[in-house]
Amino acid sequence: MKLYSSMGPNPRLVRLFMAEKGLNIETVPVDLLAGENRKEPFLNKNPAGQLPALELDDGTVISETVAICEYLEELQPQPALIGSNAQERAETRMWTRRIDLKICEPLGSGFRFAEGARLFESRMRIIPEAAPGLKAVAQDGLKWLDGQMAGKEFVCGKRLTLADLMLFAFIDFGRGVGQNIDPGCTQLLAWYERMKQRPSAAATA
């Protein structure tokens, strides 16, 4: 099994997930800056040209971060990062979806349409005028989530889950490209500092 990985929050999410599970999977670096993910031979493995991608021993390739993490969870159920029962899994998936839609998607697109435009303009449609609005949507999502975090250690209460790892990967990326957490989001800032102290954060930086 091989993980095709690169810079960026999506590949880091899967590496965080692997680190928290103690999984040692061969990682094959793909040069995102050079656009290797949009050329052969990578396109032969993943026609969508997206990273990360997990190649199984039989040659099957799984892409999309959540799908990869779901597969790894079934492969190694403990520690449970999605859930140990139907209720826990549903709760994790609910929060993961909310975080992806409210924060990660607009944060990532806001970067691609602005600071990352030169890198991505030859690979996808870039809408520069949409960048400020997308960044504002991501900030709205962070402020909303801050209000949901009172009294919680993690997004799903006392359980570290895929939702935390996704949020951390994107918030940490955002801080590097000028999309910082508002200082008024004290609950999220405290959560972020706790996540930064986890060995997986340092191992995947």
Mean of pLDDT values over 57-73: 97
User: pTM for this one?
Assistant: 0.96
Instruction: Give the residue ranges of DSSP H helices in the chain.
Output: 9-21, 42-45, 65-75, 86-99, 105-112, 117-120, 131-148, 162-176, 186-196, 199-204
Q: What pLDDT is recorded for position 121?
A: 85
Closest to 11 measured CA to CA, from 41, 54, 46: 54
Q: What is the average pLDDT value for the chain, to the nearest integer? A: 96
Joined tokens for residue 38: 């949009």
Residue 80 domain flag = no
Residue 205 domain flag = no
What residues make up the domain containing 149?
A: 86-200
Mean of pLDDT values over 170-181: 97
Residue 81 domain flag = no
Q: Are residues 128 and 61 in the same domain?
A: no
> pLDDT per residue over 78-125, tens digit each?
999 999 999 999 999 999 999 999 999 999 999 999 998 888 888 889
Residue 126 domain flag = yes
Mean of pLDDT values over 55-71: 97
- Kind plus residue range of the DSSP H or E element containing 28: strand 26-29
Mean of pLDDT values over 182-196: 98
pLDDT band at 63 (very low <50, low <70, confident <90, very high): very high
